[in-house]
Amino acid sequence: MSMKRFMVMCMSLLMATTMLMAQDGVKKYGIKSGTITMVSEVMGQKIESTSYFDDYGNLEASNTKTFGMEIATISRDGKMYMVNKAAKQVQEMPAQENVNFLNLSDEIISKYKIQEVGNETVAGKDCVKYSLEVSQMGQTVKLTVSVWNGIPMKTVTNANGTDVTATVTKLVEGDVDPALFIVPKFD
């Protein structure tokens, strides 16, 4: 597998894992809306992405530019959409099962083997650090997630012995453009 393909796969896995935290109709985050700047490290490569959220995390959109292409995702209405603007394609996927760090149930804690493993400061926010396991596409992925106000501020994903780290470098609370959450329709 080429390095480019592997890194795109890792970024897709990281975005899908991060966005699986959505839970339709329930407050996922403790703040209504904002913009998040994140840096991901995949095999020594740094990739910056920008994410937007509204309705306490029930609407999310992200844009990542890497290897000359843009990977965009929109999460809404219990679905996730992968948008390839260059190819003018949208791939719709069902939402994954949910982990809501504001409301961890005993069932979710057991299913994902969630454990509180400490505290960490990320982007000036005091976070609670959790370990968990997610089974996705026939693979079990181990994660460590540092959470502030329900928002994953740092995620370390270990898949097949490779760590992918995504760290929030900036979080700005405030209104975001509602057009960001509209799934594009291409001719």
CATH number of the structural domain spanning residue 7: 2.50.20.10
- What single-letter DSSP state applies at residue 100? -
Whole-number Å distance between alpha carbons of 54 and 178: 8
Q: In terms of residues, how long is the chain?
A: 187
Residue 71 located in a structural domain: yes
Q: Count how many domains the chain has.
A: 1
Report yes or no: 117 and 144 within 8 Å, Cβ to Cβ: yes
Residue 186 located in a structural domain: no
Whole-number Å distance between alpha carbons of 110 and 105: 9
pLDDT of residue 35: 97
Residue 119 located in a structural domain: yes
pLDDT tens, position by position, 51-88: 999 999 999 999 988 767 788 999 998 899 999 888 88
| Domain range for 106 | 3-181
Residue 62 located in a structural domain: yes
Residue 187 located in a structural domain: no
- pTM comes to 0.82
Q: What separation in angstroms does the CA of 78 have from each of 26, 60, 168?
A: 11, 11, 24
Whole-number Å distance between alpha carbons of 185 and 178: 16
pLDDT of residue 2: 45
pLDDT tens, position by position, 113-159: 999 999 999 999 999 999 999 877 777 889 999 999 999 999 998 87
Residue 43 located in a structural domain: yes
